[in-house]
Amino acid sequence: MGTLCFILIAVIEIFFAVLTIKKYNERKIWKKNRIFLRLVEIFIVLCIILLPITHLKWRFALAMIFLIIRLLVALISLVATRKHKHHTPNPIKTPVAIISGGIIFMIFFAIFLAPAFIFTNYNGLKTTGDFQVKETSAILVDEKRTDDFETDGSFREVPAHFFYPDTEKGNFPLVIFSHGAFGYYQSNFSTYTELASHGYIVVSLDHPHHSFFTTDTQGNTIIVDNNFINTAMKLSNEDISKEETFEITQEWIKLRTDDENFVLNTLQKAKSNKKLDNTWYTEDKDTILNVLSKTDMEKIGLMGHSLGGATGVQVGRERKDIDAVIDLDGTMLGDIVDVKNGEYVYNKEPYPIPVLDFTKAQDVDNRKAFKEENGYVYVNQNVTDNAKTGKTVIFSNVEHMDFTDLPLISPTIASMFGKGNVDNEEFMTTINGIVLNWFDYYLKNEGTLNIQENY
C-alpha cells in the first residue's frame, strides 16, 4: 500500500507540474490550484487508510501530517496573496523551480511515508480452526515487587494480552507466551490466533523494559531499557567471561520468571475466586472473567521466543502445574546454575515435563563445536537429552527472527536482526502447525505426534 500511495501522489505531482508549466502564468491562479492539489493528495491517502484491506494504519500517520501541514502552508500563502491583490500579479516559478520543487517534495514525502515501506500490510495468517478469535488485555500490578527499572519505587506491572475463541461454551487449555529481548507481545501473533482458533486461551505477556515498547497503568509508553540493550549487545559482540555472562543472564531470567509466575498465579486466583481484585487494571473486566471461566487451569502450556523461550523452560521446571513447554530458538539459560573453574554447571535434575526445542541447522554445528571445545554438551541439548520427554526440531535456511512474525510485518527490520532465506508465510504456517500438534497431544490428549526432526 505504501508503494501504491507513493505512485499515485507522484503521478498527481507530475501532472500538476506539467499543467503549471503549460497553462498557468499567474501566481494567484497557481496557488488556488495548488490548494486543490493538496486536498486531492490528502483525500487519496485518507482513502488508502480507510480501505478495509489496509492494516497497521499508523504507517501512514506521518505522511498524512506532512500533507496537512503542506496544505496549511498553501492556504496561508493564498491569503497573503489576496491581502496584496492591488499589487501587480507575480508570475509563477520558472519550469526549473517547479520541477526541482516537485522532486524535493517527493523526497520528503517518501521519508515521511517510510513506515509504510518498512512495514507490510500484515494482519496475521489465515487460521485453520473452527473458532473465530477475539482479543482483550489487562495490566497486572504486582504489589509484592518494585520495578527496579523505575526510580519512584513503583510496583512491577506486567501487561497480559488475551487471545481466545469466540464461543460461550467450552473448557480450553491455557498457553502463556513470553517474547524475546527487545520483543513485543505480538511477536508471534499468527501462533496465538491459530491456537485460539483451535480452542486455546493464549496469554501473551509484555516484559516492561525488556519489550520494545509497552504501556503502563498511567497510559505512559515504556520503551526498552537502554542499559538492557547495551548489555545484550555486549554479550553478543564481545568476549565476555562465563562468570559475567552467567551473572547477567540469571538476572534477566529471574525478572522474567517472576513476571510469568505472577501472571499465572493471578490468573488462577481470579479463576478460583470468580472476580478480579485490585491487581487487575483493565476496562474489560466482564470479558476477562468470562474468558477465565472457560480456561482449564489443569492444562497449561508455556512457550516463548529466544529469552522468552528460556523463561518458559525455567518456569516449566519450577512449577508442578505445567504440562508442556516449547522453546523457539532460545538458549535455556535457567538450566545453567553456576560457573566453576571457568565452566558452566548445569541442573542435574531431569527436566520433568515434555519440552520441544526449535533450533537452526547451523546451530547444530555450533553445538558440536561447543562440545569439542568445552568437553560437555550445549545446555539445550543437556535439557532435551535428560528430559522426561525432550525433542529438538531443526530448521534449515532460517535465522533467529524467522521464528516470529517479524519478517511478515517488516522484512527490513527482520533482516537487521537475522532473517534467513525462506518463505516466511509458509515457514510460520509450519511452525504453528508443529506448536498446535505438540499442545494438542500434551494438553488435550488428542491425535498423535507428527513432528519431524529436520525441516
What digits encode the pLDDT tens for the residues 71-109?
A: 888 778 767 766 655 554 555 567 777 778 778 888 888
Regions in the chain scoring below 70 on pLDDT: 1, 21-33, 53-54, 78, 81-93
Query: How many CB atoms within 10 Å of residue 226?
Result: 9
Q: What is the rounded distance in angstroms from the CA atom of residue 168 to the CA atom of residue 165?
A: 9
The confidence score (pLDDT) of residue 93 equals: 62
The confidence score (pLDDT) of residue 26 equals: 53
The confidence score (pLDDT) of residue 95 equals: 73
Alpha-carbon distances of 399 from 183, 267, 393, 428, rounded to whole Å:
16, 34, 14, 13
The confidence score (pLDDT) of residue 406 equals: 96
Specify the pTM. Answer: 0.85
What DSSP designation does 297 have?
Answer: E
Query: 264-287 as b/e, with b when 16 or more CB fall inside 10 Å?
Result: bebbbebbeeeebeebbbbeeeeb
